A = this chain, B = another copy of it.
């Protein structure tokens, strides 16, 4: 078994209104950052896991995302895997 570092980003689908992003956008405008637009706020998850190879690590992360981390109805996710050497 090898140790892998996974980075999972979870973002609202583009068709879904991002209320938190809109709020931050208005706050940035109020602070003088007037050219800012299309602010979207998602989650950035990092974790370590053991797997036999990177294919299994990726598969496990996809399962975690589907079952717990993301809401597949309104969110998209990406997974990046990197092997850690101990």
Contacts and interface: CB of A to CB of B under 8 A. Distances in A.
Interface in A12-41: 21, 24-25, 27-28, 31, 33, 35-41
Interface string A25-67: 1011001010111111111111111110000000010011001
A60 B9 CA distance: 23
Contacts of A68: 24, 27-28, 31
Nearest to A11: B44
Contacts of A21: 45
A63 B33 CA distance: 9
Interface of A: 1, 9-11, 21, 24-25, 27-28, 31, 33, 35-51, 60, 63-64, 67-69
